[in-house]
Structure 1
């Protein structure tokens, strides 16, 4: 996993952080994601599990669906996904299936991350697609948002 980021990466991660903050409006875990192609956001999302009563309504899944609709294809090629927390196994699987070539995440998820923390779905050599994965971009800010959400609940 690489940690070399481009200046525009911080800009798009900040958009993902804004999306994450939107999840707080409906008492959901503040995770946000944006999918970018050719410098343009083609999909964005934040956790909506509570409001939709849907266990699959993760930020990444919503952003991927939006991106696929924007492209008119389930293959989200030549795009980058920015997500504030290391993807879970479900989201990592969807990223692989969508053929996203590059994933950048903020904070590590030591309890459920599937980009190397607990599992490494995104780096699994037996799968037909492996994106480039970079972690740690604005990790402190991403982690702070999550900690502020969970502190009064634990």
Structure 2
């Protein structure tokens, strides 16, 4: 999870929401990534998707059985769907996402028995550190908006992580 936090710091450094993810198989990192939506102008460039893609390339196949994904934030529905589709074995995440969490905060996609695969979930690992990064990011958005004389973006102003 510490490596995922380091990935999240990289996202923060280039102006993306600070989310990082690391995929591990047999104790070895096989994929990693951080949010790149802004820098790549790609709505699918979430940390989890990037890490899953890299893990699939590293392991030589899209089925990620035996892989654990460590992520700083609870996944959104898109990322949770990718985890189910990839047959990911386990997700370990830091902070809950009360706005878009798909591991139980808003919806539960990872353990839904209606799907052909369920992902084991461990939540709250290094959550305070993950929340601190999110708070820094949204505080900087609000500060920038104030300096520019415009209201804060709705997603930044309305975010309440606790």
Pair 1:97 & 2:85 matched: yes
Structure of larger gyration radius: 2
Matches for 1:43-82 after TM superposition, within 5 Å:
43-82=31-70
Consecutive unaligned residues in structure 1, runs of 5 or more = 1-12
With normalisation by structure 1, the TM-score equals: 0.91
Pair 1:41 & 2:34 matched: no
Q: 1:137 & 1:30 partners in 2: Cα distance? A: 16
Pair 1:26 & 2:10 matched: no
Moved over 2 A (4+): none
Partner secondary structure for residue 33 of structure 2? strand
The aligned counterpart of 1:139 is: 127
Matches for 1:87-126 after TM superposition, within 5 Å:
87-126=75-114
RMSD: 0.6
Partner secondary structure for residue 23 of structure 2? strand
Q: 1:132 & 1:121 partners in 2: Cα distance? A: 11
Q: 1:129 & 1:140 partners in 2: Cα distance? A: 30
Consecutive unaligned residues in structure 2, runs of 5 or more = 143-162
